[in-house]
């Protein structure tokens, strides 16, 4: 009986421990759930396709896990207009409030970054940061079209007016866009227009004083403390933020974002295109090697993917391809430099024109290096071709001219000689003795014309 009581005692203690552990775990989970969650993203560098993909995945993740807030740490010099518009549209339609937070100290939200701040539900900045310079740099159609020269003064003025009209359309569109964002979130629309028209800038404290942003916070904790109780304008209406006990979770760029960012770098995409083109050329010139062809196909496919999402100038792309084709044509059908020179000119011009955006330009040293390498290959091909043409013939009937033969018998006019180990019919204008050394001057079918050497 005493043994049974002892067992019961230990059984009750074990059961109590399990209940306490379960209760503790449940209490922690409830505390976490009651506190909610803030998802923190990090955007640094130029705004491009990789940024848009990462931002979209962050918003979807926040919605899937019912996050109360999305905080985007922002540090950018600007970026692509269409990509920025797509990101702002995603923010405006998000079910989760989005805070654009320019940080750390020393960061900036220039150009496209200013639009992102105005499009966010909450605009925040760290001390010693700034925003502004939101003028659209890439004015479409300004000036005369590339490759054309208007000799007629009237045509030149007409083209200038058309270019100015297009510039005004781009500028006014940007002004209307940023004013609409400012009015939606109750921010300073007049300064927003000034930032677009005159490229003005503000520091964090100045922006707060002029109602351009909502908060100046030194870090994430300070930001969450200031946001608690703030009302923001969402798609579904006004929402009051409760950020007091939010648990911060970071969602940093993963390998996919980094790979997409690498591929869509204009310099990398351009280099992949060159590798792909030359890889295919080497494979076609020596079939069966496989390695150049495999590398070429993979590189070309990656380059085509990058060009699909990058703002490329198709006239520039066409010039690059024409230039490469002309240089390859020079190597296969030497024209003493005519095709090659034209190819290099077309290649360089096309490379400079290829990217149609300020923040996604191809490095000029890279263009120069590739052009120099292509020119060197072309020059090597021409030099080798010229050397081969000057080299004596070592096969065929032509190589017999000038060769030495030995008379096999005495003959006058017609006889026989040994030439390159073979017996040939021979004709000579002077009498020949057996064993005489003769020189071949002409070939007539299977008969050689010789003279004494």
CATH of the domain at 446: 2.40.50.140
Q: Do 287 and 248 share a domain, yes or no?
A: no
Q: Average pLDDT in the 180-193 region?
A: 96
**Do the domain assignments include residue 108?**
yes
Domain holding 71, by residue range, is 30-141+157-254
**Do the domain assignments include residue 179?**
yes
**Do the domain assignments include residue 152?**
no
Question: Which residue, chain included where needed, has tokens 């993909």?
Answer: 53
| Residue-level pLDDT at 8 | 52
Q: Do 440 and 335 share a domain, yes or no?
A: no
* Token pair for 301: 């496919």
Q: Looking at the predicted structure, is the pLDDT value of residue 25 above 80?
A: no
Number of compact structural domains in the chain: 3
CA 272 to chain centre: 9
Question: Which residue, chain included where needed, has tokens 């899937």?
Answer: 64
Query: Which is it for the CA torsion 22, 24, 26, 28, positive or negative?
Result: negative
Q: Looking at the predicted structure, is the pLDDT value of residue 142 above 80?
A: no
**Do the domain assignments include residue 21?**
no
| Contact between 193 and 179 (Cβ < 8 Å) | yes
| Residue-level pLDDT at 230 | 95
**Is this model's pTM higher than 0.85 or not?**
no
* H or E segment and range at residue 202: strand 201-203
Q: Do 304 and 442 share a domain, yes or no?
A: no
Q: Do 101 and 123 share a domain, yes or no?
A: yes
CATH of the domain at 170: 3.90.226.10
Q: Looking at the predicted structure, is the pLDDT value of residue 1 above 80?
A: no
Q: Average pLDDT in the 424-452 region?
A: 90
Q: Looking at the predicted structure, is the pLDDT value of residue 229 above 50?
A: yes
3-state SS assignment for residue 231: strand
Q: Which of 234, 254, 274 is the last residue of a domain?
A: 254
Work out the end-to-end distance of the chain between its first and last CA atoms, rounded to an integer number of angstroms: 134
Q: Do 86 and 221 share a domain, yes or no?
A: yes
Please report, for residues 115, 167, 178, 207, 358, the alpha-carbon distance to residue 135 in angstroms, rounded to integers and kept in the order given.
Answer: 11, 11, 11, 18, 12
Q: Do 79 and 176 share a domain, yes or no?
A: yes
Q: Do 206 and 316 share a domain, yes or no?
A: no
Q: Do 102 and 240 share a domain, yes or no?
A: yes
Please report, for residues 113, 335, 349, the alpha-carbon distance to residue 327 in angstroms, rounded to integers and kept in the order given.
Answer: 42, 10, 14
Q: What is the pLDDT of residues 259-288, one digit of tens each?
A: 888 888 889 999 999 898 888 888 877 777
* Token pair for 262: 């690498």
Q: Looking at the predicted structure, is the pLDDT value of residue 291 above 80?
A: yes
Q: Do 247 and 118 share a domain, yes or no?
A: yes
Q: Cis omega before residue 411 (within 30°)? A: no
Query: Please, where are the H alpha helices in 141-254?
Result: 153-185, 189-198, 204-209, 220-227
**Do the domain assignments include residue 101?**
yes
Q: Looking at the predicted structure, is the pLDDT value of residue 193 above 70?
A: yes
Q: What is the pLDDT of residues 292-333, one digit of tens each?
A: 889 989 999 998 888 887 888 888 889 988 988 888 777 667
Q: How confident is the model at residue 258 (pLDDT cuts 50, 70, 90)?
A: confident
Question: Which residue, chain included where needed, has tokens 């003025």?
Answer: 157
**Do the domain assignments include residue 408?**
yes
């Amino acid at each position: 009986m005493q043994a049974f009581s002892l067992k019961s005692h230990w059984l009750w203690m074990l059961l109590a421990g399990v209940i306490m552990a379960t209760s503790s775990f449940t209490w922690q989970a409830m505390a976490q759930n009651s506190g909610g969650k803030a998802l923190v993203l990090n955007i640094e560098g130029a705004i491009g396709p990789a940024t848009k993909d990462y931002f979209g995945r962050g918003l979807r993740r926040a919605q899937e896990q019912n996050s109360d807030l999305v905080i985007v740490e922002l540090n950018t010099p600007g970026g692509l207009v269409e990509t920025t518009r797509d990101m702002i549209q995603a923010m405006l339609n998000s079910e989760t409030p989005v805070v654009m937070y320019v940080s750390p100290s020393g960061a900036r939200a220039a150009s496209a970054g200013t639009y992102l701040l105005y499009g966010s539900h909450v605009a925040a900045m760290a001390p010693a940061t700034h925003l502004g310079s939101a003028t659209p740099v890439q004015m479409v159609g300004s000036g005369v079209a590339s490759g054309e020269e208007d000799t007629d003064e009237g045509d030149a003025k007409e083209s200038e007016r058309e270019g100015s009209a297009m510039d005004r359309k781009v500028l006014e569109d940007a002004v209307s866009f940023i004013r609409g964002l400012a009015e939606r979130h109750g921010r300073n629309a007049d300064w927003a227009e000034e930032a677009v028209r005159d490229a003005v800038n503000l520091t964090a404290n100045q922006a707060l004083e002029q109602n351009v942003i909502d908060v100046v916070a030194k870090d994430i904790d300070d930001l969450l403390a200031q946001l608690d109780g703030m009302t923001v304008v969402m798609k579904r209406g006004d929402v009051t933020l409760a950020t007091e006990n939010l648990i911060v979770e970071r969602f940093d760029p993963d390998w996919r974002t980094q790979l997409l960012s690498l591929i869509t770098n204009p310099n990398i995409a351009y280099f992949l295109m060159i590798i792909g083109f030359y890889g295919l050329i080497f494979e076609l010139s020596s079939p069966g090697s496989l390695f150049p062809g495999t590398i070429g196909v993979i590189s070309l496919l990656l380059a085509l993917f990058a060009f699909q999402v990058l703002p490329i100038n198709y006239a520039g792309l066409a010039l690059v391809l024409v230039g490469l084709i002309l240089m390859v044509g020079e190597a296969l059908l030497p024209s003493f430099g005519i095709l090659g020179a034209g190819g290099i000119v077309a290649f360089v011009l096309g490379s400079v024109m290829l990217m149609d955006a300020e923040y996604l330009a191809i490095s000029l040293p890279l263009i120069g290096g590739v052009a120099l390498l292509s020119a060197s290959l072309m020059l090597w091909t021409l030099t080798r071709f010229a050397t081969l043409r000057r080299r004596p013939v070592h096969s065929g009937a032509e190589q017999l001219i000038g060769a030495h033969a030995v008379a096999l018998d005495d003959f006058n006019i017609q006889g026989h000689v040994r030439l390159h180990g073979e017996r040939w019919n021979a004709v000579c204008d002077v009498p020949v003795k057996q064993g005489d050394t003769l020189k071949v001057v002409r070939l007539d079918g299977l008969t050689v014309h010789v003279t004494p050497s």
